[in-house]
Chains A and B, each alone.
Chain A
Amino acid sequence: MEFSEHIKTANLEDVVLRQPLHPPSRGTLCITGHHLLFSDREEGCSRQVLLLLKNIDAIEKSTSGSSGTITIKCKDLRVLQLDIPGMEQCLNIAYSIETLSCLDCATEMYPFFYRPSDFGLQEQWGLSSPEKYYSQMKELHDKWRLSTVNRDYSVCPSYPPAVIVPKSINDDSLKKVAKFRQGGRFPVICYYHRKNGMVIMRSSQPLPGANRKRCKEDEDLLQAVIHDSDKGYIIDTRSSQQAMQALMTGGGFESKSCYSRWKRLHRQIERGKALQESLIKLVEACGDESHNMDRWLSKLENSKWLSHVQAALSTAGLLAECVERDGHSVLVHGSKGTDATLLISTLAQLIMDPCCRSLEGFLALLEREWVQAGHPFMQRCAHSAFSHARPQQESPVFLLLLDCVWQLWRQFPLAMGFSEALLLRLATEAYASNFGTFLCNSHQERWAQGVIKKTHCLFQTLLRPGERDQYCNPLYESTELAIWPSVHPQSLQLWRGFFLRWTQQTHHLAETQEKMRDMVIKWEKLALS
């Protein structure tokens, strides 16, 4: 496809750009297949704004007389305004932006065209995978094995080719278990707790349906996890009512009679459309400039976003409590096992495992638990809070994860090896990126589209020397202890850094982070000299 078909006006002079934190500026606007470029050449100093069209969530156009105004609302919550002379040009530009920002074919997207000069495509792609995790965790080798039953993605299309399962369960059994789980997502191990040998498993819901079907292999698999004497917990991220309802549509839960050694706990985590609506309401509240405190607090409450943060953190806390304190293995799932399930298992690992809290460790965790585990990034992040399009599969689950991680980071400012800037960068990249990391919905799709061969890896890039300094936490002092977050409402705050990112206030806080970094660097220099 030719992008030029969609570009009727490529260059335009005398455009006024208004953006937050900057005075308005006049310059040239340029639309390319993937970018909006604005350059202003006033008084010698030239400034450029380069915006990925993919980052644009919604545009609004208004015209008055012979000129028009386009308001651009981005997925990173920035709002820009372009004053364009000439009606026709204005409409042309708006058309191009509307069309090019909504391309839904992965290979047409910018990551396939992005070719930075300083490094080539042959660089290593990815940080972690179940294989790597298995080879690093020698303790696993006793009772667990790496299965390649899914090597051609036929058993579970959304799983990676290799997964870790109990040693005593063979591949044929796994195939049968997969048939008993939605989307074939049979229980796999995603975390091994070194301290006591307990594990976190994740899966999708079982499929007993209204007839209460059973699957012996599924029962055996879970039994194999806890051996004979022990018991285990299943954390279901739906309410018990929702789980009951799922029976009617062929889904369901692990009943007590069939899984006698497993204790089921229901903790409802909001997902899907409800979560998307929550984000929309919150962003709307943050944009309300009226100085009415009651209205703000009631809108904040009404958005329920912080309630979702609280629910996610407390469920993750519960999971970690089962593993770390009570010494039991846990299986976590909801219905599909690609959203809330990943959210909870990721947060629990951050709470318990110091290795996940370093910069590399955290990125590796994200790669394993989100990218490889089959979170459908493309569907979930197609649109953000401003879009007028009818919501389909969008849901800010990954953003909710980042918010929860930020809450942990704020409560334990020394325990995390990464900075708030990293979380902000990830929040932006998940929606619009130069890199292929968040493209597609599963490992299989990425493989089929050639993402790994033809795009660059975000995580590897973030770890390169120049970038890395920006994203590590100067105060980091690794601790072996679990970090138990407080989930009391007073301990949870609005993530100002993200939701109020384009206000002056956040600017001050960013400066403070800079100052902290400088202080520590100075101290380290002296201490080392």
Chain B
Amino acid sequence: MVSSVERPPTIPAGSQLILRCKDFRVYQILIPQERDCMDVHASLVRLSRPEKYSELYCMSFNPNVNKEEREDSWKLIDLMADYKRMGVPNNLWVSTAANSEYRVCDTYPSELFVPKSATPAIIVGSSRFRSRGRFPALSYFHQDTLAAVCRCSQPLSGFSGRCQEDEMMLQAVMKSNPGSEYIYVVDTRPKLNAMANRAAGKGYENEDHYTNIKLQFIGIENIHVMRSSQQKIIDVGEMRAPSMTDFLWGLENSGWLKHIKAVLDAGVFIARAVADEGVSVLVHCSDGWDRTAQACSVASILLDPFYRTLKGLMVLIERDWVSFGHKFSHRYAHLDGDPKEVSPVIDQFLECVWQLSEQFPCAFEFNERFLIAIHTQVYSCQYGTFLCNCQKERRDIRLHERSHSVWPQLWKDRAEYTNPLYKAEQSQSQGILRPNTTPYCFKMWKGLYNHMEKSTPPRQSPSDYLSTVKEETQQLEEELINHQERIAALMGKPITWEKIEVPRRRTSHLGQRHCGPDPPSTYTHPITSPTQDNGHALSSEPVNQEAQTKDPALSLPLGLHTHLKSQDPDDLSACSDLESGVADLSSRSSSGVDEGKDPNETASPPPDWKSKGNH
């Protein structure tokens, strides 16, 4: 998880290291001896940039399961079952074996669905006319309107090039939707970028050459723009005591929300075409593995309630991202490589889902924690799911035999990731989400980017409260039914309603949910403040971790980051029982002067960190 290590100048108390992590956390470590500090620094720098897959944690991570269980773990998410669920194959869309050995397109999955009228010759011809051979294939089929979302890469058209097979391919896509007379070709790039690509022999479809297509540009910026934009919003999140003006200006200047809106707009356009107009859509960008993945998966979320469930989101990510060759290892810097390949593409998808869940709080089965957990796993390489850049590469390094899938783990912890407000049936909208994308609907995703808040005690969470309420409601209902049954059995006749004594739990479970955090120092302005002198200034520092290593390790294990993480009380993935943290805090006085320690730290000091040289 470490993305960079800084070594600021030595201070009297010792040498410092600042670790910046890929999940936007920042840790500050104080090491008494400068020599040790340099050693740790050197180790961290080397070990945080593995060069081979075999060095990654998932290859040595052993969650103590046997071979069958590991194999089963890879079977939890079954893409073929999902295609079946959406009604494919059928008389319009069929499975093709053309890519079964990754010969036509090495970054595509081996199992693909194409229009019934697309012969292997058309597929191969079309793939030759597409960047990286990524020919049009089915992403999502909408049973209600028979319209489909398909994806591909840009055509190699240059200024005047054309390809008969490719034109036939698009024609076939159109024919696979009996109700419509045209298809939309959504080029998710800004039009200027697409035109610039023509000079390199690539570009976009010429509407004169293809019959019955409507070309639409969406204007999602490229990975380089997104990378620098995210850096800016991270900086906004790290500002120490910004004024409202600084903050809003920083937010505007980062452009981040504008980009999130563009991705969501792309999804909305596709979903409208498919659901409201019943027209199929072919989506591409340049290579068809970044913006295309974003647009297709957002559209699926909007179109199909299934993808708003825990399992559904897993399936969706597995299909549109993992199987269709989103370059996880390059984009999230799993291995030391070209920094220009790194970009927060899936971060943006997850954020779109989060923005939607803020707009439709009852529409999603999962909560914010689930999205953040996925985000963490994409970067952490603890499991093999997000390793490599495509299916072929995974097969070549026998990934499934050497690592575990993350999904069963997330599924096991689903209680923690469930949204208590989830309402499965949404009859009035036929299950289709129609989000408002006016700028005022977008907010900064505090849960992901804001360390400052994470380092203060957790605030009250209505959803945790409601989860407990829901759980207890179920329990009580069960008890009630039990009692009724028993009474019915005793009396020999059914009873409709009886007053039954059930212990009242309100106080026992829910009593300790409040926390009164310390007054943040931010009320007092540094210059004019007389109350500044009582040492509270440190509490809202963004650097939320100060640990002392008395005897630092000479070589630290790869799993170091997990030890570090587990000390942080608010880390959602590490601290499985958030409520215990809340309960701990509630016992401290709100004026708490001396009890300001991390609850977890006092409860269980992580032995690995304090003792000598872990391994």
Task: List the interface of chain A (C-beta within 8 A of B).
Answer: 240, 263, 265-266, 285-286, 289, 291-298, 300-301, 304, 306-307, 310, 314-315, 317-318, 320-322, 324-326, 411-415, 475, 477, 479, 481-484, 486-494, 496, 500, 503-505, 508-509, 511-512, 515-516, 519-520, 522-524, 526-529
Contacts and interface: CB of A to CB of B under 8 A. Distances in A.
B127 interface: no
A266 B514 contact: no
A322 B591 CA distance: 11
B436 A265 contact: no
A379 to B, nearest CB: 28
Contact of A490 (B444, B480, B499, B530): B444
Across chains A and B, which 5 residue pairs bring their CB atoms closest together, nearest first? A481-B516, A489-B247, A296-B439, A479-B514, A301-B248
B516 A515 contact: no
B323 to A, nearest CB: 32
Contacts of B245: 301, 304, 307
Contact of B248 (A300, A326, A479): A300
B437 interface: yes
A415 B515 CA distance: 10
A412 B459 contact: yes
B524 A519 contact: no
Nearest to B361: A512
Nearest to B247: A489
A517 to B, nearest CB: 11
Contact of B502 (A297, A494, A526): A526
B462 A326 contact: no
B505 to A, nearest CB: 6
Contacts of A475: 462, 465-466
A492 B443 CA distance: 11
A477 B513 contact: yes
A20 B514 CA distance: 38
Contacts of A301: 244-245, 248-249, 252
B362 interface: yes
Question: What range describes how many residues of B lie at the interface?
Answer: 35 or more
B531 interface: yes
Nearest to A314: B523
B524 A414 contact: no
B157 to A, nearest CB: 30
B8 interface: no
A7 B582 CA distance: 62
A516 to B, nearest CB: 6
B420 interface: yes
15 contacts: A263-B530, A286-B440, A291-B261, A291-B437, A293-B255, A294-B255, A314-B522, A481-B514, A484-B517, A484-B590, A486-B522, A487-B522, A491-B446, A500-B440, A512-B362
Contacts of A265: 528-530
B375 to A, nearest CB: 18
A371 to B, nearest CB: 28
A511 B251 CA distance: 30
Interface of B: 237, 241-249, 251-252, 255, 257-258, 261, 265, 359-362, 420-421, 423, 436-444, 446, 450, 452-453, 456, 459-462, 465-466, 469-470, 472-473, 476-477, 480, 499-500, 502, 504-506, 510-511, 513-520, 522-524, 528-531, 540, 586, 590-591
B351 to A, nearest CB: 14
A527 B510 CA distance: 13
A490 B453 contact: yes
A259 to B, nearest CB: 15
B523 A298 contact: no
Contact of B514 (A306, A315, A415, A529): A415
Contacts of B439: 291-293, 295-297
B442 A487 contact: no
Contacts of B237: 490
B460 A490 contact: no
A515 B261 contact: no
B516 A487 contact: no
Contact of A411 (B243, B459, B502, B513): B459
A322 B499 contact: no
B502 A529 contact: yes
Nearest to B497: A529
A505 B360 CA distance: 8
Contact of A527 (B261, B472, B523): B472
Interface of A is mostly: helix
Given A293-B442, A488-B540, 19 more contacts: A292-B439, A294-B258, A296-B438, A297-B248, A298-B252, A301-B245, A304-B245, A321-B531, A324-B519, A415-B460, A475-B465, A481-B516, A489-B248, A490-B450, A496-B440, A503-B436, A508-B360, A509-B361, A526-B473
B519 A325 contact: yes
A20 to B, nearest CB: 13
A3 B139 CA distance: 67
B438 A289 contact: yes
B516 A482 contact: yes
Contacts of A321: 519, 523-524, 531
A481 B244 contact: no
A509 B441 CA distance: 12
Contacts of B420: 519
Contact of A294 (B247, B252, B506): B252
A487 B524 CA distance: 11
Nearest to A293: B258
A123 to B, nearest CB: 33
Contacts of A492: 244
A312 to B, nearest CB: 11
A307 B519 contact: no
A325 B252 contact: no
Contact of B441 (A491, A505, A524, A529): A505
Residue among A266, A314, A489, A496 facing the most chain B CB atoms (10 A cut-off) = A489
B436 A504 contact: yes
Contacts of B528: 240, 265-266
Contact of B516 (A286, A297, A479): A479
B509 to A, nearest CB: 10
A11 B475 CA distance: 59
Contact of A484 (B437, B472, B506, B519): B519
A501 B214 CA distance: 37
B462 A413 contact: yes
Given A310-B244, A504-B436, A523-B469, A529 B261 contact: no
A477 B514 contact: yes
A513 to B, nearest CB: 9
Contact of B520 (A413, A484, A493, A511): A484
A300 B249 CA distance: 10
B244 A318 contact: no
Contact of A326 (B502, B506, B531): B531
Contacts of B446: 490-491
Nearest to B469: A523
A306 B248 contact: yes
A310 B245 CA distance: 11
A495 to B, nearest CB: 12
B519 to A, nearest CB: 4
Given A293-B257, A322-B531, A519-B473, A483 B362 contact: no
A488 B261 CA distance: 24
B382 to A, nearest CB: 29
Contacts of B247: 489-490
Contacts of A504: 436
A523 B472 contact: yes
A327 to B, nearest CB: 9
A503 B439 CA distance: 13
Contacts of A505: 359, 436, 441
Nearest to B534: A326
A334 B381 CA distance: 58
A324 B241 CA distance: 23
B440 A494 contact: yes
Contacts of B518: 484
Contact of B476 (A291, A481, A523): A523
A492 B460 CA distance: 15
Given A479-B516, A512-B361, A515-B362, A486 B456 contact: yes
